[in-house]
Amino acid sequence: MFDNRYDLKLAVIWESGVEAGSLDHETIAELAQKGMTYCEGYCPSKKYTGADRCSCIREIFPSPKDYKLYLEARNRYESLLQLGLLAKAMSQDKKRDTNDN
């Protein structure tokens, strides 16, 4: 049975960073590249503690600092991926233009 009060207490401890370890930058980079799956299906922890500190997040990230770093790295990765796809599309357009002449 899910104990929402206990889970909320764990979320507060996690936010305080009291028992925090930390993820190395290589692990953060791997997670940023692959992305992560948030709470599949119903998550009572998410309901009571919020999406950014549910047990699914706390199990992966030792501290909010690591989670924030992941979010920033993931956003940066997605932006760079979009730029790369745009550059590739533009390169292919230039090749077509050159071949047409």
State the Cα–Cα distance between residues 57 and 95, nearest whole angstrom.
Answer: 45
- 95 vs 91 pLDDT, higher one: 91
Identity of residue 49: T
Please tell me the predicted confidence (pLDDT) of residue 49.
93
Burial class (CB in 10 A: 0-12, 13-18, 19+), 58: buried
Tell whether the model's pLDDT for residue 75 goes beyond 90.
yes
Q: Where are the chain's structural domains?
A: 4-100
Residue 1 three-state SS: coil
| Contacts with 49 (C-beta within 8 Å, 6 or more apart), sequence order | 7, 8, 11, 55
| Residue at token pair 């104990």 | 3
Each residue of 30-71: pLDDT tens digit?
999 999 887 888 999 999 999 899 999 999 999 999 999 999
